[in-house]
Amino acid sequence: MQDKNDYPPETRKAFERIDSIMSVHDRIIADKEQRLSQLRMLRKDFDDRELVGLYTRLFDSYFSYDFDSAAHYARLKYDAALKVGDSHAMAQAKVNIAKTELYLGNEIVAMDTLKSLAQTDTARYTDIKKGYYDAIANHQFAKGNRADKEFEWLIHNSNPNSVGIIYNTATYLRSLGRHREALDLITANRERLTNNSHGKAMVDFVTAQIHLALGDTVLATQLLANSSIHDLTSPVRDYTSLYQLATILFGNGDVDRAYRYLTFATKDHYAANVNNNLRTLNDMMPAIISAHDKRNQERTRLQTDTTIGIAILAATLLVVLWMLYKQLQRASQANREKTQLYENLVIASRRLEALNRTLTQSNNTKDAYILQYLNLCSYYINSLESYRNNLRAIARNKGVQQMLDHLNSSTLHDRELKEFYHNFDATFLKLFPDFVDRFNELIEPDKRLVMPSSDTLSTEMRVFALMRLGITESERIAIFLRRSTSTIYNYRVKMRNAAIGDRDEFEEKVMKIGL
């Protein structure tokens, strides 16, 4: 399983943005539907010639959002154009119908429509011929076939300043395996291609395909995430970028995220009726659902094993506590018997008083940590017993589900961790009361650390407090402070760079504070 921290920061930020948009996507769809409704209401005020233009706008608005509706308005455009005898608009409508039928998976209907264009209208209208060749070329490319004739015609007969010639040239280069040239072309024209949200989605998607062909999955993942963001905010519902992103995430072992994205896209898949994504959906969904269910089963089993482990540990600690109690009873009896002997040793003890004062600091350090260790043992033994009784009461009075909910809560963990760090800070500052001041003397004035309070250390200061106690490995410090190893390393580098004098001797000086 890939952890979210394994992704680059920009990719993690894009994932967070996708999740945020998904949470309000119903509102985005509602706004889109309201705009479409207002556009549809204009029909009653238009004559047939004006309806041709209105149906063109409706087709463009529904394309990539609801292909059934897009096909419907393309046919209405054809009917309106037929009534007013506008053969050019009729040909445009046929191109629209063909493109929509390809997305709906009706390849035979689409090809028949394009053939009817080839026989009549492509010779009369250059833009219709461009639409004809564009539909044929890109459909063949999507199927993995070559369409050199169509691409070459488009490249030689399109406006050299148009957006279409850039995409068609890039696609043609990709079909020839010249991916680097395609990438250079898209990159050089990126500003021209990204004048709206749909353009940004297209550029990021095409660039991602090129990087996938070049073997750069990391950058392709980032680009597909960006493209998905633009698709979601437009909004469109074919979600080609989101489907492909889910495929890559599943391959990386990020099952939960892949499952979440795919189920979201599936919900809108049926609303848009995008059948060209159906095979991807059918191939991926069973595997992702199976992996997702298996992951949930593993988590449930881990929770059960953890509960059993805690119970066994609690029982073991109770036995140990009972044995310690018995030993203390025997020791107490022995101490009473030896009281008289100790009184006879008072004189000898006084002679050792001077030597004991010399060892006081060392003994205080050991005593403090031994006492703190015993206190913590006693505290956590009592906490475990209380926690076990609480779980038993919840299971008996509220049922197993409530008990599981209680187990899933992080409240106890957070409280105990806060108390643990409070005890650590108090004990350490008792042993080294001037540690913070001595530490800051080693740091440049504007980089010195400020503590949250007089009895509380900051996380950065705890790193060096642990080093003063002899724990110098970043991995061990990271475990103690619940931080990543890289974070601990960055803390150490930051303070070393801020040190006064020789930076290589900084940590050695910290280790000598209090000696």
- Whether 448 is covered by a domain: the verdict is yes
- Whether 9 is covered by a domain: the verdict is no
- Nearest Cα neighbor of 428 from 436, 416, 419, 439 is 436
Q: Cα–Cα distance between 514 and 438 in angstroms, integer?
A: 9
What are the φ/ψ torsions at residue 453 (nearest 5 degrees)? Answer: -160, 175
What are the φ/ψ torsions at residue 456 (nearest 5 degrees)? Answer: -135, 130
Per-position DSSP letters for 217-246, written without gaps between them: HHHHHHHHHHHHHHHHHTT-S--HHHHHHH
What does the block give as tokens for 153? 């015609």
| Interacting residues of 287 by C-beta distance below 8 A, sequence separation 6+ | 250
- Whether 86 is covered by a domain: the verdict is no
- Whether 165 is covered by a domain: the verdict is no
Q: Taking the chain (515 residues) in consecutive chunks of 10 residues, what is each chunk's mean pLDDT? A: 72 94 91 92 90 92 86 92 90 87 78 72 66 77 80 83 88 92 94 89 94 94 95 85 90 88 78 53 54 56 62 73 80 75 62 46 58 59 67 73 70 80 90 92 93 91 92 92 93 93 91 87
- Nearest Cα neighbor of 466 from 515, 432, 443, 419 is 432
Number of domains in the chain: 1
Classify each residue of 190-207 as buried b or exposed e, where b means 16 or more C-beta atoms within 10 Å of its C-beta. Answer: eeebbeebeebbbbbbbb
Give the C-alpha distances (Å, rounded to integers) separating 308 from 100, 295, 312, 325: 58, 20, 6, 26
What does the block give as tokens for 81? 């154009």
Cβ contact 375:426 at 8 Å: no
Per-residue model confidence as pLDDT tens digits over 250-307: 888 888 898 899 888 877 666 655 555 545 555 555 555 555 555 555 655 666 556 6
* DSSP-H helix ranges across 398-410: 400-408
Cβ contact 241:227 at 8 Å: yes
Question: Is the bond preceding 235 in cis, omega lying within 30 degrees of 0?
Answer: yes
Per-residue model confidence as pLDDT tens digits over 186-211: 999 999 998 888 899 999 999 999 99
- Whether 124 is covered by a domain: the verdict is no
Position 354 scores a pLDDT of 39
Give the CA count within 13 Å in the CB-facing half-sphere of 455.
6
Position 189 scores a pLDDT of 93
Radius of gyration of the CA atoms of the chain, in A: 36
3-state secondary structure string across 410-462: CHHHHHHHHHHHHHHHHHHHHHCCCHHHHHHHCECHHHCCCCCECCECCHHHH
Classify each residue of 295-323 as buried b or exposed e, where b means 16 or more C-beta atoms within 10 Å of its C-beta. Answer: eeeeeeeeeeeeeeeeeeebeebeeeeee
Cβ contact 58:93 at 8 Å: no
| Interacting residues of 435 by C-beta distance below 8 A, sequence separation 6+ | 428, 429, 465, 468, 513, 514
What does the block give as tokens for 328? 């203390």
- Whether 462 is covered by a domain: the verdict is yes
Residue position matching structure tokens 């890939």: 2
- Whether 325 is covered by a domain: the verdict is no
Q: Cα–Cα distance between 99 and 77 in angstroms, integer?
A: 15
Terminal C-alpha separation, the chain: 47
Indicate yes or no: pTM above 0.85: no
Q: Cα–Cα distance between 431 and 368 in angstroms, integer?
A: 8
- Whether 468 is covered by a domain: the verdict is yes
- Nearest Cα neighbor of 168 from 184, 188, 148, 143 is 148
| Residue range of the domain that includes 504 | 431-515
The gap from C-alpha 166 to its chain's centroid, in whole angstroms, comes to: 33
